[in-house]
Amino acid sequence: MKTYLVGGAVRDKLLGVQTKDRDWVVIGASPSSMTELGYRQVGKDFPVFLHPDTKEEYALARTERKTGIGHTAFDFNISSKVTLEEDLERRDLTINAMAEDHNGNLIDPFGGLSDIKNKLLRHVSEAFIEDPLRVLRVARFYAKLSSFGFNISPDTLKLMSDVSHSSELKTLSAERIWQEFKAALATPSPEKFISTLRKCGALKAILPELDDLFRVPQPKGHRSEINTGMQALMSLQVASGLSDETSVRYASLMHDVGRGLTNQPGGSSHPDHQALGLELLSKTAKRLCVPNEHSALAALVCEHHIKMQTLDKLRADELLSLIESLDAIRRPERFKKFMTVCEATTRARTGLENLKYVHAKFLSRILEIISEVDVKALMNSRPEKDPKDLLRQHRLELITTFITKSRKSV
């Protein structure tokens, strides 16, 4: 029995980046011999074991044979006679098909080290097309490693396109799609995940709502040289520079998705695109099992981001209604995320990367003022008044005073 460090840990070590998890492959063992050594089996589709002390994952070397369409239609051979090279050959990319023994020696039968030096994402074998999930994985690795100068091999991109134009992507479960999507959102360049899926034709199958945006011209007043889909990508790119939160990045990408259902002459804004967007976001969230935190923030931005563009013209009651709709007093952290998304979309819309987003300071100050109200003292001062009406009227007076002073000073 021999064990080898494999996959991402080996790749990241060669790239000089930190590795969170380490995975191991075991050669010459069986499930019974692993359990006798104290390893605990956790794998369902094929035997994966947790080390009794480190709790790291140890998988038996395996080969696989495709038996039908989809990501899970495989038969696995976990015979103790399966070699390390046979196990590595079934992996997706050459940079993920390397191993290291306990002496630190690199085992690289498919040229992964060379591809790292050449900054190339290249498939290991033609078996790449058997697993449709690999289309998403390669796009995610590109989003993760493009900052290192990596590009996708044209031959690999061709295979990704072949899979995307087959029926295989439709077999992926919502959970697996979202898992890859969320992981891509956490990368340094998540917009490249989306652009790659679109380039190979996968976006139409995975996120048709977003794919539709690329045929919609910008409304008047926006940057005319890009379409709505490109602005969504630019919003995501800007948001990624402002926040590591995947919910912020998701909302930045999806905030204007309703425009995909419209295509007005001259790029004029459809009056119902926000309502259409809310419907699409709800359907997308259900279809892809999007977490509530992500879908709720995206819906808030979709519904209210237009108001942020004319914040300095809103009346006191409109400003208070906006804050109430955002539930900003009870959920200040989500309010901050909302403001971050609005800043990202505004920068993308105007093309001003160093834009000083004064609306965030303005609305945040209003929230701060009305949150400081001593509610108990206010109620005691006017016991004859309805508490809810009294509090709202007092907040309106505070907002009116603030905006009057602010607008006079401009």
Model pLDDT for residues 256-281, shown as the tens digit of each residue: 998 877 654 444 455 577 888 899 99
What's the average model confidence in pLDDT over 381-398?
91
Smallest CA-to-CA distance from 148 within 112, 187, 180, 110 is with 187
User: What is residue 222's predicted lDDT score, i.e. its pLDDT?
Assistant: 59
Cα separation, 280 vs 179, whole angstroms: 20
pLDDT over threshold 60, residue 284: yes
User: What is residue 197's predicted lDDT score, i.e. its pLDDT?
Assistant: 98
For the chain, the domains span 1-118
Domain 1-118: CATH superfamily is Beta Polymerase, domain 2 (3.30.460.10)
pLDDT band, very low/low/confident/very high, at 44 (cuts 50, 70, 90): low
Q: How many CA atoms lie within 13 A of 280 on its CB side?
A: 26
Q: Give the three-state DSSP class for 99.
A: strand
Cα separation, 25 vs 363, whole angstroms: 54
Higher pLDDT, 408 or 180: 180
Torsions phi, psi of 253, nearest 5? -70, -40
Task: Look up residue 132 and give its amino acid.
Answer: P
pLDDT band, very low/low/confident/very high, at 21 (cuts 50, 70, 90): confident
DSSP H helix total and E strand total for the chain: 19, 11
What's the average model confidence in pLDDT over 219-236?
77
Helices (H), 98-153: 112-117, 133-145
pLDDT over threshold 70, residue 72: no
User: What is residue 233's predicted lDDT score, i.e. its pLDDT?
Assistant: 96
User: What is residue 206's predicted lDDT score, i.e. its pLDDT?
Assistant: 94
Max mean pLDDT among 269-273, 287-291, 354-358 falls in: 287-291
What's the average model confidence in pLDDT over 21-25?
92
Report whether 235 contacts 344 (CB < 8 A): yes
Cα separation, 409 vs 405, whole angstroms: 6
User: What is residue 258's predicted lDDT score, i.e. its pLDDT?
Assistant: 87
Cα separation, 83 vs 28, whole angstroms: 8
User: What is residue 63's predicted lDDT score, i.e. its pLDDT?
Assistant: 84
How many angstroms separate the Cα of 300 from the Cα of each of 13, 163, 247, 291? 41, 35, 12, 14
Among 66-80, 245-259, 284-298, the least confident range: 66-80
pLDDT band, very low/low/confident/very high, at 331 (cuts 50, 70, 90): very high
Q: Are strands 99-100 and 40-41 parallel, antiparallel or unpaired?
A: unpaired
For residues 279-309, b (16+ Cβ closer than 10 Å) or e, as one string? ebbeebbeebebeeebbbbbbbbbbbbebbe
